[in-house]
A and B are shown apart, each in its own frame.
Chain A
């Protein structure tokens, strides 16, 4: 009897605290996700009220859709370069603003600010920078690679996307690295110094291994963010020039809503999800083994 009461008490306690979050999660994540998977089995055009069941036909069709795989390839390249640069940049910044330079709180806030601006706004600002400001500067100062808009050349447009994404995300990752850096136990560092470690050795053998969990979090966050990039892609290049920077999320959107092929677009979204999940899980799994 008493045990039963205790369980009831615990259950109430749990629903009281976790209930609202759990309900939200189920309603806005789980239900749409499952419904989305159902939609991949239909030939819905995104508008009509009737959704004919077509089985696995969409999955077959996706494998024949070379444009989708091309956009996925682009996403992989974009993500790989961005993730590396974001994390190098973020760690460097974090190291800098914890090293006790003057006005470091101001710098912390400054580097973090881009992350507070939404991707859309940011994209439009940078669009102006790339297509007007830099071009004017480049023409007046005779700097060859700046004198034409980066956004009208496929490779430079991709570079522009990466630059902005690094600029936007590194501030956020910096915060996590700062937390990691300040979390390194002082006695370990002191012990290292007593044993005669230089700054480099201290970083390599004590600080970095201690921060493995920060790296796992940052890599995970940056990988998922980059893979799913849509807003920046839309506002900075809009997939242009001539569709050469259209990444997977945007391709999925185009397929579902512009080409009015919702079933197939949804199927591609599911595949994108699977790939993204596989990459992230592998990364976390490898990282966990390195954690101290």
Chain B
């Protein structure tokens, strides 16, 4: 009995194999048989138009890559709403990988997303695959100012404006000092240190949280060195170029020393000071939200800190060298930006993606998604909605008063790992300031 079943199954399998091969053979023969070329061409076009028709009849489906972990839920919900309103299906995908790396993999396998949320340097890297958005309506409302422009063409949609700086928990400070906290009263290193001492004496032994992540240490904190160079893109670029060709010696550089003095100050009062490289981002977030620390060098993207108090805001890092408005202006710029793929997406998908971007800027529901749901500070002048999250409010106040510093965002992808490693060594006391300067200079000179 068993033998018969076995035999039966193998016969079926063999038959399937042969059938499969046979089919292939048939089609090969057909295409191989000599038909006039034109006829084949005609047939093909007929087929493709049929396909297009089918697509139009069906619903359009696009994919969107989200790279902001704090907005995962909001994006999912928005996709549902958007489908109800327009019928267009948006599949939202999230990744916590480095965006450029993730997209390089996706492009290598020929399956990128229709809309991708990327960092500004990525736009330059992937430019050949991206759709030129210069003709869109939103260009005039802030797209040209905040989007990434390459050779006169705008390739990216500025999703949001973000600020980097020192977050403060005013409630925690006031609980100890007993008087209202106004950041501008503490925006020099001396006054700031006096406050830290006062907090330490008042029971908050270590009032600062310092991250150990590469992006925070290297790109955001150390990045201030590139930002505060004349408060313009040209100034920053010239400074970076002078690092590359070895003209600038960091040890003698005022901005570098001023910045590292402030870093030393933060590190001295760091709650993770005993073992600074064991710092954990989520723990820092909790320390800050609970008021165990009063200051955290981070940015306006921090959202989950309002459980205990809403009296939370943001200020520039107090520094010795206050040129370029370093102590009064907040570093702000369009960071995450949306791009549309033109190589692998169908024209219908590209159009749907463009429509989606317009919806974000010009539709009440789209604006509400950005400002109310995501607490995003929008880059577009036509949106007069005000954000409600306190940190974003603080940042938006700086932006509306034009009290912003330029944010140099075209640093290479490996700046984070290389300079980040150097900063970690410095933070954990493995190298001194000269050593740090040497490693950073070596990194930039190696790029030439």
Residues on A lying within 8 angstroms of B by beta carbon are 16, 45-49, 131, 135, 148-149, 151-152, 239-243, 254, 257-260
Contacts and interface: CB of A to CB of B under 8 A. Distances in A.
Interface stretch (B37-45, B203-211, B273-281, B345-353): B273-281
Contacts of B274: 148
Contacts of A259: 412-414
B426 to A, nearest CB: 9
Given A16-B14, A152-B276, A260-B414, 14 more contacts: A47-B125, A47-B129, A149-B275, A151-B277, A241-B277, A242-B421, A242-B424, A242-B428, A242-B430, A243-B418, A243-B421, A254-B417, A259-B412, A260-B413
A135 B278 contact: yes
A260 B100 contact: yes
A149 B280 CA distance: 11
Contact of B277 (A16, A152, A239): A152
Interface residues of B, number: 32
Contact of B128 (A48, A151, A243): A48
A148 B417 contact: no
Contacts of B376: none
Contact of B414 (A48, A135, A152, A258): A258
Interface stretch (B74-82, B88-96, B104-112, B224-232): B104-112
A172 B43 CA distance: 57
Contacts of A148: 274-275, 278
A196 to B, nearest CB: 51
Given A254-B414, A259-B413, A131 B422 contact: no
B422 A242 contact: yes
Interface in B55-90: none
B102 to A, nearest CB: 9
B183 interface: no
A151 B424 CA distance: 13
Interface in B340-367: none
A151 B421 contact: no
Contacts of A152: 275-278, 428
B125 A260 contact: yes
Interface of B: 14, 17, 98, 100-101, 103-105, 107-108, 125-126, 128-129, 274-278, 280, 412-414, 417-418, 420-422, 424-425, 428, 430
Contacts of A260: 100, 104, 125, 412-414
Contacts of A257: 98, 100-101, 104-105
Given A254-B414, A258-B98, A46 B424 contact: no
A115 B422 CA distance: 35
Secondary structure class of chain B's binding surface, majority of residues: helix
A16 B413 CA distance: 49
Q: Which 4 A-B pairs have the closest CB atoms?
A: A152-B277, A149-B278, A242-B421, A243-B421
Contacts of B412: 259-260
Contact of B280 (A46, A131, A239, A258): A131
Contacts of B421: 240, 242-243
Contacts of B98: 257-258
Contact of A49 (B128, B277, B414, B424): B128
B128 to A, nearest CB: 6
Nearest to A127: B280
Given A47-B125, A242-B421, A258 B278 contact: no
Contacts of A254: 414, 417
Contacts of B107: 47
B428 A243 contact: no
Contacts of A240: 277, 421, 424
B107 to A, nearest CB: 6
A135 B274 CA distance: 12
Contact of A131 (B101, B129, B278): B278
B311 to A, nearest CB: 30
B435 to A, nearest CB: 11
Interface centre among B129, B277, B421 (most CB of A within 10 A): B277
A91 B204 CA distance: 53
A239 B101 CA distance: 17
A113 B425 CA distance: 37
Nearest to A239: B417
A241 B414 contact: no
Given A152-B276, A258-B98, A242 B425 contact: yes
Contacts of A47: 103-104, 107, 125-126, 129
A149 B275 CA distance: 7
A49 B103 CA distance: 14
A245 B420 CA distance: 14
Contacts of B129: 47
B101 A258 contact: yes
Nearest to B105: A257
Nearest to A19: B17
Contact of A241 (B17, B108, B428): B428
A47 B420 CA distance: 24
12 contacts: A16-B17, A45-B125, A46-B108, A47-B125, A47-B129, A149-B275, A149-B277, A151-B277, A152-B275, A241-B424, A257-B105, A260-B100
Contacts of B103: 47
A258 B102 CA distance: 10
Interface centre among B103, B278, B422, B425 (most CB of A within 10 A): B278
A180 to B, nearest CB: 33
Interface centre among A45, A46, A240, A258 (most CB of B within 10 A): A258
Nearest to A50: B128
B318 to A, nearest CB: 27
Interface centre among A239, A242, A254 (most CB of B within 10 A): A242
Nearest to B10: A16
A48 B98 CA distance: 18
Contacts of A49: 128
Contacts of A149: 275, 277-278
B204 to A, nearest CB: 21
A257 B125 CA distance: 12
A184 B103 CA distance: 53
Contacts of B422: 242
